[in-house]
Amino acid sequence: MACALTRIVRTIFKFSLVSIFLVQSCLASPQLDLPPISSTQRYNNAGYGLLSSTQSSINSPGNQYDVQNQNFGFSTARPSQNPSTPGVFPVSSTFRGINPDINNNGYPNVNYGNGGNPSSTLRPYDETNRDDRIDINNDPNFRRNDPNFARNDPSYAGANPYDFNRGVNTNSIDDRFHQVNLQQVRDFLLKADDQASKECTNNVAAQWNFETDVNDGTQHAALDAQQRYTLFQRGLWEAAQQVPRGAIRDYATFRQLRLLSIIGPSALPPDQLDRYNRLINDMLAVYNTAEICAYNEPFKCGLHLQPELQFVMSHSRDWDELQHVWTEWRRNTGRRVRDLYEQLVDLTNQAARLNNFTDASAYWMFPYETVNMRQDVEEVWEQVKPLYELLHAYVRRRLREAYGPERISRSAPIPAHVLGDMWGQSWSGIVPFTLPYPGKTLVDVTPEMAQQGYTPLTIFQLAEEFFVSMNMSAMPPDFWALSVLDQPADRHVHCQPSAWDFCNRHDYRIKMCTHVDMKDLVTAHHEMAHIEYFLAYRNQPKVFRDGANPGFHEAIGEAIALAVASPRHLQTLGLVQKSVDDTAHDTNYLFTQAMDKLAFLPFALVMDRWRWDVFTGDVRKEQYNCHWWRLREQYQGIKPPVLRSELDFDPGSKYHIPANIPYIRYFVSTILQFQIYRALCERTGQFIPGDPSRPLHKCDIYRNPEAGRILTRIMERGSSVPWTQVLQETIGEGRLNGEALRDYFRPLEDWLRSENLRTGEYLGWSYDGDYCKFSIETAGLQVYGGFYNAAHRHFDVTSFVTLLLASFLTTVVMMRWR
């Protein structure tokens, strides 16, 4: 593969890019994570019209947001500021129009040149930059149009039911008063939106050029574009800070401003931000260049995570070799970044405080707009745990049979190194080894696809047809003209599949080096689901063009993938000839899904439970590693193969920790995909609870316009309202719920239960000794291998610094990579 040639550069760069996106999507997502407010507070006149942007003021009556009762309605009642002048809305500071001036490195041009009179200096809408090559409202390829959308209509605020200011009677004094302010704020937002979209287009284009034609020139251009965009974002943030917002009663306007006022680490002063970026870069440099020597071949060194170590972890069945790789990887990654990570924690908290959060955990939970994120995920986990314990007990038995009862005990946690990957996050690697019915192979349509002459192009045409069959959008012309669906022979491309939104409402692309096999058939549908999402919310303002929460994009893609990969759908497509409708096949199929998705859940939970505890200070620095193992044991039921100590730093051996990328979104999307899938199947009569002839895992939403309608309704609102509201109003569920996942795996659950009964398995696990010692001296640290390649590959990390600067690049979706 061409990708392997420049591996170092590729991985560093790729990782950096991913982190930009992921860090940011947290910021650009819906917000308003507020403590509950009492009814007296809410209707207290004094709370109204505050101009501060602190969180408490959001609870003012004008911005009613009753978190406790999950009532997101926006009251049209108009409390008066004081009883003697009922209905008059205070505007206590003059609004100044602010230009986030791209010619001024994105910093606002605060000199208005006219004595500070803002409205006359608001720049006119820039017609010359308008891109009208495609009229999206008359483009037959866009099946779903918003007839109300007009690009330059100042009162357009998206399809928002709370936009009650439209069409108000302007004759009364309070309305006029109000509208002056609102109009100015809207002018600002409109301009910001327009400029942010253009800046975004430039940046995404530069990143695209780099990823689809990797060379020094495109890399520099990508770095420059990224830096420029970051500066622009910061300028916009500073500008948005100065907009008075207390009197804004329009929900969409208010929410846009609110979203713009959170920018995460970029709020740090320049020297601190630089330090923040350097810390991450230094850690990622360690991570990305880490290499170890082979197990019994001390002179065979230079083995990297990808592909060598991951291959060993998923294919080797040699206990000692697995342990060697597991320990060595941690010695060369986590352990070497512990000190840097401790510094990063302080800086991340500092940045969060600058965004007016108590600490970074509050900032990371912010996009979920819930009162108690910890409790929410905990409750969902309790719903799923009985099923996890069944799987855990079954897998532990199969491993015990393979490695012997002296190594895998009947009732203890499972050693972490024999689960098929480096972190025990997905157990797919040991599926061939633990399959319930080994004789019955899984459905693989790859040979049939080759037989029928599939190509990368026809795979994507098939995916498009899948969505069109549900009355969803076809791909726009730019998609077919500009996507890279096949690995080009003449240049080097980053092959990680990804979906791209160029922020201009017509250019959407996929980049994927498609192979003609079953895996990529499913992935093509998954990626195209992201494009459907982009298309569905394309008429929203830029800040709302995002998933309803950070887990949504992925949840939609995976819900689609569940339907596409189902044996029934493959049969419909004519890729499976004979019927595969028997229990053995079903059990194997569900087991394979569970080893990936179900096994992953507690891991994802541990990743952020640990960091929440770290950020809040509940866990002190000298307990970092042992706390990690406490949580790993508690949720996953796994333990380290050798004793760990506080000299080690095992969280740091997983990419997202040194990269400082939140992880709970993967937990959320894994739960949510089943909720969405179940709702689609139930609404269309394909899944009937309790009816064994209509199990959830056999549901296929292909050719079902009703399913398409529900999906579109979920997607078209972007992040313009809280996700709980989106979900409530589309599928009638206002919160995360693990029961859908249980429904999906029901046949497997029954099978596992009776299988575990048959072999008399112990469900759950109990602690069986020391896993981690606080004291370094007593820890029996083991060193394997003995020879290490001293010549450390060196490269200049500073050029990557800018890549990590925060930006609003929520437009490239490649979250599948977890």
Ligand X SMILES: *[C@@H]1O[C@H](CO)[C@@H](O)[C@H](O)[C@H]1NC(C)=O
Could you say whether residue 53 binds ligand X (CB under 6 A)? Answer: yes
- Find which of Zn ion, ligand X, none residue 53 binds, CB within 5 to 8 Å per kind: ligand X
656 part of the active site: yes
Stretches 482-490, 531-539, 551-559, 613-621: which one binds Zn ion (CB under 5 A)?
A: 551-559
Query: Contact between 183 and ligand X (CB under 6 A)?
Result: no
Site string for ligand X, 216-255 (x = CB under 6 A): -------------------------x--------------
Is 677 annotated as belonging to a binding site? no
Bridge pairing between strands 508-511 and 498-501: antiparallel
* Non-local CB neighbours of 299 within 8 Å, separated by 6+ positions: 293, 787
Q: Applying CB under 6 A, does 702 fall inside the site for ligand X?
A: no
Q: Which is nearer to ligand X, 6 or 56 (CB)?
A: 56
Radius of gyration of the chain (CA): 27
In the bound state with ligand X, the residue whose beta carbon lies nearer, of 101 and 308, is 308
The whole-angstrom separation of Cα 702 and Cα 464 is 11
∠ CA 560-561-563, nearest 5°, is: 70
- For residues 595 and 419, the answer to whether their CB atoms sit within 8 Å is no
Among 675, 696, 715, smallest CA distance to 813 is for 715
Among 471, 487, 496, 623, binds ligand X (CB under 6 A): 471
Q: Which of 320, 279, 364, 283 lies closest to 653 in space, CA to CA? A: 283
Among the listed ranges 295-303, 344-352, 358-366, 532-540, the one in contact with ligand X (CB under 6 A) is: 295-303
- Cβ at position 268, least distance to ligand X in Å: 12
H-run or E-run covering 109 = strand 108-109
Q: Find residue 219's DSSP bridge partners.
A: none
Do the Cβ atoms of 470 and 704 come closer than 8 Å?
A: yes
- Shortest Cβ 813–Zn ion spacing (Å): 5
Count CA within 13 A, CB hemisphere, residue 655.
Answer: 16
Residue 705 near which of ligand X, Zn ion, none (CB within 5-8 Å, type-dependent): ligand X
* Residue 816 binds to Zn ion (criterion: CB under 5 A): yes
Q: 100, 264, 541, 557: which one contacts Zn ion (CB under 5 A)?
A: 557
Assess 207 for contact with ligand X (CB under 6 A).
no
Residue 585 annotated as part of some ligand binding site: no
Structure tokens at 288: 């990305």
Among 294, 325, 459, 484, binds ligand X (CB under 6 A): 294
Q: Which is nearer to ligand X, 131 or 297 (CB)?
A: 297
CA-based angle 487:489:491, to the nearest 5? 90
Nearest partner of 100 among 258, 234, 236, judged by Cα: 236
* Token pair for 561: 């993938």
Helix (H) or strand (E) run with residue 607 in it: helix 583-616
Q: Which stretch binds ligand X (CB under 6 A): 290-298, 385-393, 634-642, 806-814?
A: 290-298
Q: Shortest gap between Cβ of 652 and ligand X (angstroms)? A: 26
Would the annotation count 437 as a binding residue? no
Residue 307 preceded by cis peptide, ω within 30: yes
User: What angle, rounded to 10 degrees, do the helices at 518-536 and 456-468 form?
Assistant: 50
Select from ligand X, Zn ion, none the partner in contact with residue 443, using the beta carbon and a kind-dependent cut-off of 5 to 8 Å: none
Please confirm, yes or no, whether 328 is among the known catalytic residues. no
Q: Which does 542 bind (CB under 5 to 8 A by kind): Zn ion, ligand X, none?
A: none
Tell me: does residue 295 bind ligand X (CB under 6 A): yes
Residue (of 282, 199, 342) closest to 646 by Cα position:
342
* Residue 524 beta carbon to ligand X: minimum distance, rounded to whole angstroms: 23
Q: Which stretch binds Zn ion (CB under 5 A): 185-193, 439-447, 474-482, 552-560?
A: 552-560
* 144 lies in the site for ligand X, by CB under 6 A: yes
Q: What angle do CA 83, 85, 86 make, to 5 degrees?
A: 70
**CB-based contact 536:144 (threshold 8 Å):** yes
Q: How many residues does the chain have?
A: 818
Q: Which of 199, 238, 328, 527 is catalytic?
A: 527
Q: What is the DSSP string of 40-90?
A: HHHT-GGGTT----SGGGGGSGGG--BTTTTB---------SSTTSTTPPP
Tell me the C-alpha distance between 259 and 718, whole Å: 13
Q: CB-wise, 53 or 218, nearer to ligand X? A: 53
Q: Which two tokens stand for residue 58?
A: 């959001």
User: Among 54, 69, 138, 169, which residue sits at the site for ligand X (rule: CB under 6 A)?
Assistant: 54
Residue with smaller CB distance to ligand X, 311 or 480:
311
Both ends of the chain: CA-CA distance in Å?
Answer: 22
- The residue among 456 and 476 lying less far from ligand X, judged by its C-beta, is 476
Task: Answer yes or no: is 646 a known binding residue.
Answer: no
Q: Of ligand X, Zn ion, none, which one does residue 816 interact with (CB within 5 to 8 Å by kind)?
A: Zn ion
- The interface partner of residue 326, options being Zn ion, ligand X, none and the CB cut-off 5 to 8 Å by kind, is none
355 binds ligand X (CB under 6 A): yes
Partnered with residue 498 across adjacent β-strands are 511
Q: Which residues bind ligand X (CB under 6 A)?
A: 52-54, 144, 241, 261, 294-297, 321, 355-356, 471, 705
Enzyme catalytic residues: 527, 656
Q: Which residues bind Zn ion (CB under 5 A)?
A: 557, 815-816
| Binding-site residue positions for Zn(2+) | 526, 530, 554
| Binding-site residue positions for chloride | 368, 665
